[in-house]
Structure 1
Amino acid sequence: MTVPEITPEERAELDKALLDALNPLASAIRSRATGLPEHRMWEGDPAEVALSVLATWKVVDAQVKSLTARAAGTAGSYGASYEQMGAAWGITRQGARKKWPEAVVRTPAATPITLELFGGAAALTRDPASGDWTWTGRGADGTHGAAGDGTRYPTREEAAAYAGAFLQEHAAATP
């Protein structure tokens, strides 16, 4: 994935949207700091007003960092690697790991997750090197199955869906 480029028009729209969102927050913060009503935010020493805006951007910056970390964590929970996150952010894999150290949680290959459905069971395992998932299982009818031909799945949920379909197909016959 490459870092997306935006057009000059999109950049102008983004700037306007950010400024429109910033102004009410800047007014509220300045009002609390000075005791002046929000509609008088722009009155006063120009340097103090500009510093109020700067302080407000700091608040926005912290919130953007928090939301970015949340997005990285969500991507990691769905199986994205640090290499993929780095590519999306325009940094190296190592840079992504440093920036979002908790985003990718590796489940050791030796610790399978057991899925019990329809009287059978399947073990979901994650390859620590690639981060991909696979499954093996035994249906209630005694049939053994596994992800076919070395098939790997990018997320635990996808592997579980295939394993669940196998277990349903090999459920014990109902009298």
Structure 2
Amino acid sequence: MPKPEITTEELTALDRALLDALNPLATALRARETGLPADLMWAGDPADVALSVLSTWKVVDEEVKRLTAIAAQTAGSYGASYERLGAAWGITRQGARKKWPDAVERPAASGAGASGLELFGGTAELFREASSAGWRWTGRGADGTLGGAAAAPALATKEEAAAHAGAFLKEHAAG
């Protein structure tokens, strides 16, 4: 994805929109900091006023970083790779992976398909649920008890599903 080009007019409009959005926040933060009424908000030492604006830009910068991470996560959830995220941001694939480590789901090392588990004389099957991309399990304990977490929310990882299934199998081991 090529880096988007922005015209001088678009940059000027963006600057104006950002300054218009920043002003009420800067005013509110400065009012809380100084205790001055709104009509005297910007009175004072010019360095202090400029520092108030700078600290407000820091708040905006942190919010932009948060929203950027959400956008990367959203793109990753729709199948974008770290290579594509990096290209969109103008950095390498490795840079994108470092910047947004959880944006792209990595395939499980042990495979993404269903797998079985045999413990304490019982068996369980772990499977990935397509609708939620989470993991579930069903099992039969050695005592014949059936179990599974069909009604509960899907689990985040295969390992977490295995832990739940293992605890069930231990609880229902042959006497």
Q: Shared fold (TM-score greater than 0.5)?
A: yes
What is the match of residue 10 of structure 2?
Answer: 10
Deviates more, 1:17-26 or 1:34-43: 34-43
Q: 1:33: how far off?
A: 0.2
Structure 2 match to 1:21: 21
- Counterpart for residue 31 of structure 2: 31
Whether the 8 Å CA contact 1:30–1:38 is kept in 2: the answer is no
8 Å contact 1:74–1:103 — kept in the other structure? yes
Please tell me the residue identity of whatever aligns with 1:18: L
Please name the residue that 2:158 is paired with.
none
Q: Which residue of 1 aligns with 2:112?
A: 111
What per-residue deviation string (whole Å, max 9, x for no partner) do you get for residues 62-101 of structure 1? Answer: 0000000000001111110000000000000011011111
Count of aligned pairs between the two proteins: 117
Equivalence map 1:1-175=2 (5 Å): 1-108=1-108, 110-112=111-113, 113-114=128-129
Identity of aligned residues (%): 68
Query: How far, CA to CA, are the matches of 1:34 and 1:49 in structure 2?
Result: 10
Deviation at 1:40, TM superposition (A): 2.1
| AA at the equivalent of 2:54 | L
Tell me the alpha carbon deviations over residues 104-126 of structure 1, each in whole angstroms, 9 at most, x when there is no partner: 1123382233559xxxxxxx9xx
Deviation at 1:45, TM superposition (A): 0.6
Distance 1:66 1:35 in 2: 30
Q: Distance in 2 between matches of 1:78 and 1:4?
A: 21
What is the distance in 2 between the residues matched to 1:92 and 1:69? 16
Measured after TM superposition, the shift of residue 102 of structure 1 is 1.1
Match of 2:144 in 1: none
TM-score (norm 1): 0.63
